[in-house]
Structure 1
Amino acid sequence: MLEKLRIMFTIPELRKKIFLTLGLLAIYRIGFHIPLPMVDNAPADSAGGGAADFLEKVSLFAASDLRQLTIFGLGIMPYISASIILQLLGTTVPALAELKKEGQAGQKKINEYTRYLTVGICLVQSWIYVSVMLSASGPGGGNINANFLNEAGTGLYLPWQFVAVAVMTCGSVFLMWLGEQIDEHGIGNGISLLIMAGILAQMPKALYELIRNMETQLTGLSRGQVGIETLILLFVLFIGVVVGVVFITLGQRKIPTQSAKFTRGRKVYGGTRQHLPLRINQAGVMPIIFASSLLMIPGVFFGLMAGAFETGGAIFKGLNLVSLTMQDQASYFFNLLYVALIFFFCYFWTAITFNPKEISDNLRDSGTFIPGYRPGKRTTDYLEKVMVRITYVGAGFLSIVAIVPTIVYGSLGVPYSIAGFYGGTGLLIAVSVAFDLVQKIDSHLVMRNYRGLLEGAGGGVSPVV
Structure 2
Amino acid sequence: NPLLRGIGKALDATGQDLVPAFAANAGGSFVAQTVLIIIAGTLFLMWIGDQITERGIGNGVSLIISVNIISSLPGVIVTIWNTFVIERGDNPFSPLLIVFMVVLFLFVIAAVITITQGQRRIAVQYARRVAGRREMAGGTQYLPLKVNYAGVMPVIFATAILQLPTQLLGQMTDASWVRTMGELLSPNDIWFYLLSGFMIFFFSFFWVATMFQPSEVAENLKRGGGYIPGVRPGKATSDFLDYTMTRLTFAGALFLTLIFMMPFFIGLALDLGANSLVTSFFGGTSLLILVGVLLDMMRQIETHLLQRQYDGFLRKGKIKGRQQRQISGQQATSASVLYLWVVLAMIIIVAVVALFINQ
Structure-2 change in CA distance of 1:321 and 1:457 (3 Å): farther
Name 1:367's counterpart in structure 2. 225
Q: What is the deviation of 1:247? A: 0.8
Name 2:37's counterpart in structure 1. 167
- The answer to whether the 8 Å contact 1:330/1:410 transfers is no
Q: What is the deviation of 1:156? A: 5.0
- 2:200 alignment partner AA: I
Gaps of 5+ in 1: 1-120, 222-226, 310-315
- 2:225 alignment partner AA: G
- 2:77 alignment partner AA: L
For 1:219, which of 82, 91, 108 is the aligned residue? 91
Q: Does 1:426 align with 2:286?
A: yes
Q: Does 1:123 align with 2:3?
A: yes
For 2:304, which of 427, 436, 444 is the aligned residue? 444
Name 1:208's counterpart in structure 2. 78
Deviations, residues 269-302 of structure 1 (Å, cap 9, x unaligned): 1312100000000010112222333444455555
Name 1:379's counterpart in structure 2. 237
In 1, distance between residues paired with 2:204 and 2:38? 33
Structure-2 change in CA distance of 1:165 and 1:266 (3 Å): closer
- The answer to whether the 8 Å contact 2:187/2:193 transfers is no
Structure-2 change in CA distance of 1:279 and 1:127 (3 Å): same
Structure-2 change in CA distance of 1:145 and 1:259 (3 Å): farther
Name 1:455's counterpart in structure 2. 319
Name 1:79's counterpart in structure 2. none
Which of 291-300 and 414-423 deviates more?
291-300
After superposition, residues 325-364 of structure 1 pair within 5 angstroms as: 325-327=184-186, 329=188, 331=190, 333-364=191-222
- 1:440 alignment partner AA: Q
In 1, distance between residues paired with 2:115 and 2:253? 10
Deviations, residues 395-417 of structure 1 (Å, cap 9, x unaligned): 22222222111111122122411
In 1, distance between residues paired with 2:45 and 2:317? 29
TM-score normalised by L of structure 2: 0.78
- The answer to whether the 8 Å contact 1:285/1:428 transfers is yes
In 2, distance between residues paired with 1:406 and 1:461? 37
For 2:272, which of 406, 409, 414 is the aligned residue? 414
In 1, distance between residues paired with 2:181 and 2:132? 76
For 1:246, which of 97, 100, 113 is the aligned residue? 113
In 1, distance between residues paired with 2:82 and 2:102? 17
Name 1:155's counterpart in structure 2. 26
Q: What is the deviation of 1:308? A: 2.6
Name 2:347's counterpart in structure 1. none
Q: Does 1:293 align with 2:160?
A: yes
Q: What is the deviation of 1:186? A: 0.4
Name 1:143's counterpart in structure 2. 19
Gaps of 5+ in 2: 335-359
- The answer to whether the 8 Å contact 1:218/1:228 transfers is no
Which of 176-185 and 318-327 deviates more?
318-327
Structure-2 change in CA distance of 1:184 and 1:234 (3 Å): same
Aligned residues: 321
In 1, distance between residues paired with 2:97 and 2:214? 47
Structure-2 change in CA distance of 1:345 and 1:454 (3 Å): farther
For 1:256, which of 109, 117, 123 is the aligned residue? 123
Deviations, residues 179-222 of structure 1 (Å, cap 9, x unaligned): 1111111011112111111211222222222222232646266x
TM-score normalised by L of structure 1: 0.62
After superposition, residues 61-76 of structure 1 pair within 5 angstroms as: none
Q: What secondary structure does 2:185 align onto?
A: helix
Q: What secondary structure does 1:215 align onto?
A: helix
Structure-2 change in CA distance of 1:401 and 1:124 (3 Å): closer
Using the aligned pairs only, state the percent identity: 32
Which of 205-214 and 279-288 deviates more?
205-214
Name 1:186's counterpart in structure 2. 56
Q: Does 1:320 align with 2:195?
A: no
